[in-house]
Structure 1
Amino acid sequence: MEVMKSDAAQSDSNEAIKHILAERFKTKLCKNFCATGECPYANHCMFAHGNTELRTCRDNIRDGLVTEEAIKAFHHQQAVQRRAMMRIGLTTQYSSDVYRLPASPPTHFGNFIYNDRVL
Protein backbone atom coordinates (compact mmCIF):
# COMPACT_ATOMS: atom_id res chain seq x y z
CA MET A 1 0.00 0.00 0.00
CA GLU A 2 2.89 2.36 0.71
CA VAL A 3 4.21 1.90 -2.83
CA MET A 4 0.87 2.96 -4.30
CA LYS A 5 0.84 6.12 -2.19
CA SER A 6 4.35 7.06 -3.19
CA ASP A 7 3.56 6.38 -6.86
CA ALA A 8 0.46 8.56 -6.60
CA ALA A 9 2.43 11.29 -4.83
CA GLN A 10 5.12 11.10 -7.51
CA SER A 11 2.48 11.33 -10.24
CA ASP A 12 0.93 14.40 -8.57
CA SER A 13 4.38 15.97 -8.28
CA ASN A 14 5.10 15.32 -11.97
CA GLU A 15 1.76 16.87 -12.98
CA ALA A 16 2.51 19.93 -10.85
CA ILE A 17 5.90 20.34 -12.52
CA LYS A 18 4.32 19.98 -15.97
CA HIS A 19 1.75 22.65 -15.13
CA ILE A 20 4.48 25.00 -13.84
CA LEU A 21 6.54 24.58 -17.03
CA ALA A 22 3.43 25.10 -19.19
CA GLU A 23 2.64 28.30 -17.27
CA ARG A 24 6.18 29.65 -17.62
CA PHE A 25 7.50 28.73 -21.08
CA LYS A 26 7.28 31.85 -23.30
CA THR A 27 4.15 33.12 -21.50
CA LYS A 28 5.81 36.41 -20.47
CA LEU A 29 8.20 38.78 -22.16
CA CYS A 30 11.90 38.53 -21.29
CA LYS A 31 12.89 41.48 -19.07
CA ASN A 32 16.48 41.47 -20.39
CA PHE A 33 15.30 41.52 -23.99
CA CYS A 34 12.75 44.28 -23.34
CA ALA A 35 15.27 46.43 -21.45
CA THR A 36 18.33 46.06 -23.67
CA GLY A 37 17.24 44.30 -26.86
CA GLU A 38 19.54 41.40 -25.99
CA CYS A 39 19.31 38.28 -23.87
CA PRO A 40 22.25 36.32 -22.45
CA TYR A 41 20.20 33.11 -22.67
CA ALA A 42 19.54 33.63 -26.39
CA ASN A 43 17.78 30.58 -27.87
CA HIS A 44 17.52 28.87 -24.49
CA CYS A 45 15.52 31.59 -22.73
CA MET A 46 12.25 30.49 -21.13
CA PHE A 47 10.73 33.91 -21.81
CA ALA A 48 9.41 35.39 -25.06
CA HIS A 49 11.62 37.71 -27.09
CA GLY A 50 8.85 39.81 -28.59
CA ASN A 51 5.11 39.44 -28.98
CA THR A 52 5.44 36.91 -31.81
CA GLU A 53 7.01 34.39 -29.41
CA LEU A 54 4.37 34.80 -26.69
CA ARG A 55 2.47 31.61 -25.91
CA THR A 56 -0.34 30.73 -23.53
CA CYS A 57 -0.37 27.94 -20.97
CA ARG A 58 -3.01 26.28 -23.14
CA ASP A 59 -0.69 26.50 -26.20
CA ASN A 60 2.09 24.81 -24.26
CA ILE A 61 -0.15 22.00 -23.01
CA ARG A 62 -1.62 21.50 -26.50
CA ASP A 63 1.87 21.29 -28.04
CA GLY A 64 3.23 19.03 -25.29
CA LEU A 65 5.69 21.64 -24.00
CA VAL A 66 5.31 20.51 -20.41
CA THR A 67 8.65 18.81 -19.70
CA GLU A 68 12.23 20.00 -19.85
CA GLU A 69 12.93 17.38 -22.51
CA ALA A 70 10.06 18.61 -24.69
CA ILE A 71 11.21 22.22 -24.34
CA LYS A 72 14.80 21.25 -25.23
CA ALA A 73 13.50 19.37 -28.28
CA PHE A 74 11.44 22.45 -29.25
CA HIS A 75 14.55 24.67 -28.97
CA HIS A 76 16.52 22.17 -31.06
CA GLN A 77 13.80 22.09 -33.73
CA GLN A 78 13.80 25.89 -33.90
CA ALA A 79 17.61 25.94 -34.27
CA VAL A 80 17.42 23.42 -37.12
CA GLN A 81 14.78 25.54 -38.87
CA ARG A 82 16.88 28.71 -38.45
CA ARG A 83 19.96 27.00 -39.93
CA ALA A 84 17.90 25.69 -42.86
CA MET A 85 16.52 29.17 -43.54
CA MET A 86 20.03 30.65 -43.43
CA ARG A 87 21.27 27.97 -45.86
CA ILE A 88 18.68 28.92 -48.45
CA GLY A 89 19.45 32.61 -48.03
CA LEU A 90 16.61 33.70 -45.81
CA THR A 91 17.64 35.76 -42.82
CA THR A 92 15.75 36.12 -39.59
CA GLN A 93 16.10 38.27 -36.53
CA TYR A 94 17.35 35.11 -34.78
CA SER A 95 20.34 34.48 -37.02
CA SER A 96 22.88 35.37 -34.33
CA ASP A 97 23.59 33.73 -31.00
CA VAL A 98 22.23 36.76 -29.14
CA TYR A 99 18.71 37.99 -29.73
CA ARG A 100 18.65 41.61 -30.80
CA LEU A 101 15.86 44.04 -31.55
CA PRO A 102 15.32 44.51 -35.27
CA ALA A 103 16.85 47.62 -36.85
CA SER A 104 14.63 50.66 -36.87
CA PRO A 105 12.64 51.14 -40.07
CA PRO A 106 14.04 53.58 -42.63
CA THR A 107 12.98 57.20 -42.40
CA HIS A 108 11.70 58.87 -45.57
CA PHE A 109 12.71 62.46 -46.34
CA GLY A 110 11.43 63.50 -49.73
CA ASN A 111 13.04 61.24 -52.32
CA PHE A 112 15.71 60.01 -49.89
CA ILE A 113 15.55 57.11 -47.48
CA TYR A 114 17.70 57.21 -44.37
CA ASN A 115 18.34 54.43 -41.90
CA ASP A 116 19.79 54.71 -38.40
CA ARG A 117 22.36 52.00 -39.12
CA VAL A 118 25.96 53.03 -39.69
CA LEU A 119 27.44 51.22 -42.70
Structure 2
Amino acid sequence: VVFGLDILSMNIFLFLIIPVFYLQHTNMRYPESLDKALGWLFLMPNYHKVHHEQDQFYTDSNYGTLFVIWDRLFGTFRTKPVAEINYGLKEFKGKEKQSFLYLIISPFINIK
Protein backbone atom coordinates (compact mmCIF):
# COMPACT_ATOMS: atom_id res chain seq x y z
CA VAL A 1 0.00 0.00 0.00
CA VAL A 2 1.43 3.35 -1.09
CA PHE A 3 -0.15 6.53 0.30
CA GLY A 4 -3.28 4.60 1.18
CA LEU A 5 -3.69 3.16 -2.32
CA ASP A 6 -3.21 -0.44 -3.20
CA ILE A 7 -0.84 -1.16 -6.07
CA LEU A 8 -3.66 -2.01 -8.51
CA SER A 9 -5.40 1.32 -7.92
CA MET A 10 -2.12 3.19 -8.31
CA ASN A 11 -1.37 1.41 -11.59
CA ILE A 12 -4.84 2.13 -12.96
CA PHE A 13 -4.41 5.81 -12.07
CA LEU A 14 -1.00 5.97 -13.76
CA PHE A 15 -2.27 4.08 -16.80
CA LEU A 16 -4.99 6.72 -17.25
CA ILE A 17 -3.06 9.88 -16.32
CA ILE A 18 0.27 9.37 -18.13
CA PRO A 19 -1.29 9.72 -21.62
CA VAL A 20 -2.87 12.99 -20.42
CA PHE A 21 0.58 14.33 -19.45
CA TYR A 22 1.93 13.45 -22.89
CA LEU A 23 -1.02 15.05 -24.69
CA GLN A 24 -0.66 18.26 -22.65
CA HIS A 25 2.98 18.61 -23.65
CA THR A 26 2.62 17.98 -27.38
CA ASN A 27 2.18 20.52 -30.13
CA MET A 28 -0.89 18.66 -31.30
CA ARG A 29 -3.58 21.06 -32.43
CA TYR A 30 -7.22 20.44 -31.80
CA PRO A 31 -9.98 22.21 -33.75
CA GLU A 32 -10.69 25.49 -31.97
CA SER A 33 -14.34 24.56 -31.39
CA LEU A 34 -13.34 21.26 -29.75
CA ASP A 35 -10.61 22.98 -27.73
CA LYS A 36 -13.06 25.53 -26.33
CA ALA A 37 -15.87 23.04 -25.71
CA LEU A 38 -13.71 20.50 -23.88
CA GLY A 39 -11.77 23.34 -22.22
CA TRP A 40 -14.65 24.08 -19.86
CA LEU A 41 -14.03 20.76 -18.12
CA PHE A 42 -10.57 19.51 -19.12
CA LEU A 43 -7.19 21.22 -19.06
CA MET A 44 -6.51 21.23 -22.79
CA PRO A 45 -2.92 21.47 -24.13
CA ASN A 46 -3.30 25.12 -25.18
CA TYR A 47 -4.38 26.03 -21.65
CA HIS A 48 -1.54 24.04 -20.12
CA LYS A 49 1.03 25.76 -22.39
CA VAL A 50 0.23 29.06 -20.67
CA HIS A 51 1.69 27.54 -17.49
CA HIS A 52 5.11 27.45 -19.21
CA GLU A 53 5.13 31.22 -20.01
CA GLN A 54 8.05 33.40 -18.80
CA ASP A 55 5.75 35.93 -17.14
CA GLN A 56 5.07 34.78 -13.58
CA PHE A 57 1.43 35.92 -13.83
CA TYR A 58 0.93 33.07 -16.29
CA THR A 59 3.45 30.65 -14.78
CA ASP A 60 1.50 30.68 -11.52
CA SER A 61 -1.63 29.39 -13.23
CA ASN A 62 -3.36 26.38 -14.76
CA TYR A 63 -2.17 23.91 -12.14
CA GLY A 64 -4.77 21.26 -12.94
CA THR A 65 -3.69 17.89 -14.21
CA LEU A 66 -6.87 16.78 -15.88
CA PHE A 67 -9.74 19.05 -14.86
CA VAL A 68 -9.70 22.82 -15.28
CA ILE A 69 -12.53 23.28 -12.77
CA TRP A 70 -10.09 23.67 -9.87
CA ASP A 71 -8.22 26.53 -11.55
CA ARG A 72 -11.49 28.22 -12.47
CA LEU A 73 -12.76 27.78 -8.90
CA PHE A 74 -9.62 29.12 -7.20
CA GLY A 75 -8.91 31.94 -9.69
CA THR A 76 -5.70 30.47 -11.11
CA PHE A 77 -7.04 29.87 -14.63
CA ARG A 78 -5.34 32.02 -17.31
CA THR A 79 -5.47 32.08 -21.10
CA LYS A 80 -3.17 33.60 -23.68
CA PRO A 81 -2.92 33.08 -27.44
CA VAL A 82 -0.40 30.28 -28.05
CA ALA A 83 1.49 32.39 -30.62
CA GLU A 84 2.20 34.99 -27.89
CA ILE A 85 3.61 32.58 -25.30
CA ASN A 86 7.30 33.07 -24.45
CA TYR A 87 8.36 29.69 -23.09
CA GLY A 88 10.94 29.07 -20.39
CA LEU A 89 12.40 31.01 -17.52
CA LYS A 90 14.25 34.31 -18.05
CA GLU A 91 16.95 33.12 -15.64
CA PHE A 92 17.80 30.19 -17.95
CA LYS A 93 18.36 31.98 -21.27
CA GLY A 94 21.55 31.24 -23.17
CA LYS A 95 23.37 28.03 -24.05
CA GLU A 96 25.56 28.01 -20.94
CA LYS A 97 22.48 27.95 -18.72
CA GLN A 98 20.93 25.11 -20.72
CA SER A 99 23.81 22.70 -20.14
CA PHE A 100 23.17 19.50 -18.22
CA LEU A 101 25.66 20.44 -15.48
CA TYR A 102 24.20 23.92 -14.98
CA LEU A 103 20.65 22.58 -14.76
CA ILE A 104 21.76 20.02 -12.16
CA ILE A 105 23.58 22.55 -9.93
CA SER A 106 21.18 25.49 -10.41
CA PRO A 107 18.94 24.61 -7.43
CA PHE A 108 21.97 25.05 -5.17
CA ILE A 109 23.26 28.41 -6.45
CA ASN A 110 21.93 31.96 -6.41
CA ILE A 111 20.66 32.62 -9.96
CA LYS A 112 20.41 36.20 -11.20
If the length of structure 2 is used for normalisation, what is the TM-score? Answer: 0.34
Larger proportion of strand: 1
The structure number with the bigger radius of gyration is: 1
User: Higher relative CO (CA 8 A, sep ≥ 6), structure 1 or 2?
Assistant: 1
If the length of structure 1 is used for normalisation, what is the TM-score? Answer: 0.33
